[in-house]
Each structure stands twice: as C-alpha cells, then as structure tokens.
A and B are shown apart, each in its own frame.
Chain A
Amino acid sequence: MKELIKRLSEACGPSGHENNVRDLIRDAVASYADEINEDVLGNVIVTKKGKGTDRKHLMLVAHIDEPGLLVTHIEGNGYLRVAQVGNLEAAYLVGQRVQFPNGTVGVVGTHHVNDAGDVTFMGLFLDIAATSEAEALEKVRVGDMCTLLQPVVELDNDKLVGKALDNRVGCAVAVEALKRLKDQEHDVTVVFTTQHGVGSRGVKPAAFALEPDFGLVLDGVRAGDYPGAKRIEVGLGKGVAVKVLDRNVIVPPPIKNFLVDQAEKAGIAYQLEVYPDGTSDAGAMLITRDGIPTGGLSLPLRYTVTGSEMVDLRDVEAAVQLTVLALQQYNL
C-alpha cells in the first residue's frame, strides 16, 4: 500500500486535468472491479456488485485532484505566468519545483519583494528553461496546469511525507478497500472524483447519476498536533477520523454513530473530526437530489497546503479497516 500511496502522490493531477492519476487508479482497481466507467467530468466510477438479496447501493468517494498552477500567459522570453487553481499559498510556492502532466519541469520564481508576505500570484512565474515563447510552446500551452514536484519520503516505518497526500491517501484507502471487500451484501460503487478543490464539481454529477442509498467520503483532514497549529482535536497516529462536521456538512448523527459503533466493536482506532474550516465532497453529496445520507472518514495530515504533507500509515490502515467494515455492515 505504501507503494501505491507513493505512486499516486507523485502523479500530477491538478483539478480538471486529472488524467495521470486517473490512469493509475484504473490500473490499480482493474483486478477488483466488476466494471470501470468514466463520466463527463472525468470521475472514475468503479462498481463491485453485492451478493445479497435485498441489496442497497453504497457509494464510496475519494477525490483524486490536487491544487495546481494554470499557465495563463507565455512571455516573449520564455517565462510562464500562472494563476492558482484550488487552495495554494503564493508565498509557499517560491522556489518549489513543479511538474506538468507531460513531464515538463519548472521552478517557481517571484518578482522581488521585501517581505515574504507580499508575494502574490500576479508576481509569480515559472522558469522551464525556455528562452523564447516559441521554445516554451514546444513544452506547454496556455491552459496547461502543473503541480508540485515532491518525492514521497519515508521518515520512519509509519510516517510518509509528500505532496497531495490529501487526498491520494484517501484514494489508496479506497483501492485497498475494494481489494479487501469480498462477497459483500450490498452493491458498492467507488467513485474517484475530480475537481473537489474547486467546489466539489465532480461528485455532484456522479452522485446525481448514481443515486446511491448511502455515501461515504474519504478525504484528508489537517491535524492539529504540531507547534502553534490552529486548534483541531485530530492528531497523527491516533486513528482514522470519523467526520462530525466540516465547513460544508454536518454528518447526520445516525451515520456518525454507525461509524463510531463499528470502530468500537472491531477495536479500530478512531478519533472525531470537528473542523469548521475543512472541506470534503460530503457536503455536496448530502444535498444531491432529494438528499443522500452521507458520512465521512478522514486521514489526519500535518502541514497541508505546504507540499510536505505528513501521514501515519497506522491511521491509513485503520481507515481501510473501518471503510471495509462500514460497507459490509451497512444497515441504516
């Protein structure tokens, strides 16, 4: 699973241009799926039929996109101008390396500022070592997007650090859950969603089309266990986080309680996620059509948005176990 997380994390998949991640996902699920489809928004829709006679339709969701930089303009001297897509901080980007889906690598530079707080997206540029517009155009076009180039590093047996672990870890959990799910009663559809970071634009059409009876959303959540962190009672190594509330959703209490009960009965480490600043696809899903009962399981991550997100593999394992259990035991 470590290998899968590494592959997914290092792939370039900005919101709206998720092709590379989509291909990895399709490969990863191929042997565990009854059917794999793709919709207009690029969501990967993987079905696994249940064996029961009174089957419900359960939808497991993990977004595959990450924030990116969009090329808006190519200067005569070959520098690229960019705009942000999704949640990025201009100051954190200076000096980072970025990569385009076609492999082109660049370095992020900024106009001179006296104070790091004065870095703006209008002042950022990419240097891809092109010396003219024509040379740059051989590698990129206006409208192309890139993401951070950061290898996954193992800090110890349990801890990985890398970019886009929010939410490639959630994707890996979904793949692993598909693998472990055997002869489950209900029909399960795993949707690897696009465009989460720009307003859950992928999950809405997918949930509309699939009309599931229940939704479970896997996503990252910022941990609050480092010096000076904004308060949130979630820490690394303390288990999977059962979502109570984020900016877009209040999980219906029976669903939250069901997930907690399953974790308690099976002795799976869990913590509660109460994070009014967080986002996930759960909010959009809950209010699709006439309402889809939806819950969330989150992976605690330190240093979100910095390109060096940290995850604990014990939390990942707990997430897989609870996801599988919830899909097998669903009785709401």
Chain B
Amino acid sequence: MLLKRLTEAMGPSGFEEEIRQVIYEEIRDHVDRVYTDALGNLIAEKDGTRPGPKVMLCAHMDEVSLMITHIEPNGLLQFAHIGGIDNKILNSQPVLIGDSKIPGVIGSKPIHHQSPEERRQPVGLNSLRIDIGASSREEAMTLVEPGDVAIFATQYEEIGERKAKSKSFDDRIGCAVMVETLKKNFDVPTVYVFAVQEEIGLRGAGPAAFRVQPDISLVLEGTLAADFPGSPGHGKATIQGNGPALSVVDSSSIHNRKFLDHMVQVAEANNLPYQYRKTVAGGNDAGRIHISRAGVLSGVISVPTRYIHAPAQLISLDDYENTIALVEQFLRSVEQGGLGQ
C-alpha cells in the first residue's frame, strides 16, 4: 500500500535517503529519466509528445523530526527539533532513532513529581529526554550517537469512515499524489521533484526549480486542517473532507489570481470538490519556485491534514483521491493550452 510505504519511511530534513529510495522504487518504471541532484532532490522527468509548456510538480520528501544532541551519563538522550514541532505533543511518544531504527520513548518527570510551578509552565526541551533503555552513556553509545535523527514510530492505519492515520502526511501525501500522477501520460513535458529540506526553510525546491526551468509549477502539500472545536469560522484554515485546498496567500507566496481561478474552473468543470486555504500562515516550496530565475507561474494544491507536524496525523482518503483527480485534470487543461501566456 503506497500511503503506508511512503508515510512510514524515514526522512528527516537533510536525511532523506530512505524515503528517497522508497520513492525511487515506486517511480523508476514509470518515467523517462530519474536522478538525484546535489542537495538530494529526486527529480523524475517525462518528456510527453510536445515541447511545452514544461510543468514542474513538487512535493517534499522530508518530515519534521528530532536530532540527538547529547547523551547523558545516565544513558538518556537530549534532542533538538528538525522543523517546527510543538513540545506539548512530544511527551511519551515512541520514536525510532537512526538508520537501524533503535526504538526509544520520549519521557519527562511524571505529574506526581512536578511542583505546582512546573505544572503551569510550558514543556521545554530541557525537561524532555529520549529513553532507549540504556543505563549508561557507554551503553547508549553502542546504539546511538549525537547527530542521529529520530522519527515518530507511528504506523499507518485506516480508521473510521475513509480516514487514514500516520506520521508525515505532511508531505508524503503530496509525494503519493505525485507518484499516482506520474503513472499517467500527458502530452506536455512533466517534471516531478521530490524535494528535500522543506521543513527547515524551503531549501531544496529553489535549486531544483533553477535546474528544471519550468514554465508552470504546481506544488502538492499536506496543509493544516484547523477544523477543531474552538476554532472560529474564520480560523478554520481548511476543513477535512471538503476537498483539495487551493492556496491563496501564505507566508511564502501570494498566488497568481489567474492561476487560482484556473484551478477553480478545472475543479468545477470536472465536478471535483475544492476549498480555499483560508489562512496566510505557513509557507511551502512554491515560495522558492515562483521567484526562481525570471519567475514561474505557480500554484499549490493541498490535502487538509489534521494534527499536522504531530506524531499521528489524520487525512481523508476522499480528499486524497479528489486531489489526485484535480491534479490530473489540471494537467489535462494544460495539455489543452490552459494558462498559456
């Protein structure tokens, strides 16, 4: 199962070897060329039958994760974030460390031992440790070392009504949409960039776009579904189950209104649900792509993801399938001359 293979694979920002290999195996038989650039972006190309316009699709492979920074004499591990993580969600989470996936659990002082003041204070990294069951630094060092990365040990599971739970739907769901898309044939040249290092500052996609020089770019993302109780109507960035979310403005891009209207038109013409991403918070690789070289006409389609950047994230499989359908129809529209200058 594609979503299980993609979401369970390890791929902290800058350490994308495993997820890159998983994706490579998935796509190698479906594309004309596939290669890795200096930063580690996996770039797959399909020539199509016509010279242009060249469309670059992009989803990032990396995930928010942890890095071991220090091993204490008692064998407990101190760690830092890679990407944005809320410390409140870390306590008692099982994790897997390094290439050999050493299991560990994040621990802190139990509530019984916390002073009233400690109970009130926000959780800081200095009060959290990863416990791998070692009782000394020496013992721990036989299994891990500073600089090893750790991911959440979450298993993919389909739950409830057409929902799926796993880690790293941000942005393995975008990767999955690309894998499904590249199995289809389009007349125009398409380039699929599985980007590195998005979560730590959009570092992979810019160099990839510089190399690819696309005419049009479409970024596929998992974005925050803020439809939790307590969010006011205008605080709900996206709503799970309401369809693919189209980006309007975020901290990295102000999207071209013509591009946005075009996507809306494609969705409506094909009876596909869609929603606007109603927040300016967050950023993604489009922020680098659209100002690459002399500028690239760009847009973003996202699958709403609840509990984003947390160990267990939740998506709607209907949103996922509708996103795949919308991306296909978008590319069909480009085949027919859509978004021509």
Contacts and interface: CB of A to CB of B under 8 A. Distances in A.
Given A205-B291, A205-B295, A209-B294, A73 B278 contact: yes
A39 interface: yes
Nearest to B276: A142
A81 B276 CA distance: 14
B294 A143 contact: no
A81 B234 contact: yes
Contacts of A84: 280
Among B248, B256, B290, B296, max chain A CB count under 10 A is at: B248
B235 interface: yes
Interface string A225-257: 000000000000000000000000000000000
Contacts of A83: 249, 279-280
A15 B295 contact: no
B229 interface: no
Given A39-B294, A40-B297, A143-B248, A72 B280 contact: yes
Given A84-B280, A143-B248, A208 B233 contact: no
A102 B254 CA distance: 19
A70 interface: yes
B293 interface: yes
Contacts of B276: 72, 142-143
Interface in A260-286: none
A122 B235 contact: yes
B85 interface: no
Interface range for A: 20 to 34
Nearest to B210: A208
A59 to B, nearest CB: 14
Given A70-B248, A70-B249, A142 B297 contact: no
Contacts of A56: none
A85 B257 contact: no
A73 B294 CA distance: 33
Interface of A: 15-17, 39-41, 70, 72-73, 75, 81, 83-85, 122, 142-143, 195, 198, 201, 204-206, 208-209
Interface of B: 232-236, 248-249, 253-257, 260, 276, 278-280, 290-297
Given A73-B234, A83-B280, A204-B291, 16 more contacts: A17-B254, A39-B294, A39-B295, A41-B290, A41-B295, A70-B248, A70-B280, A72-B280, A75-B233, A83-B249, A122-B234, A201-B291, A205-B291, A205-B294, A209-B294, A209-B295
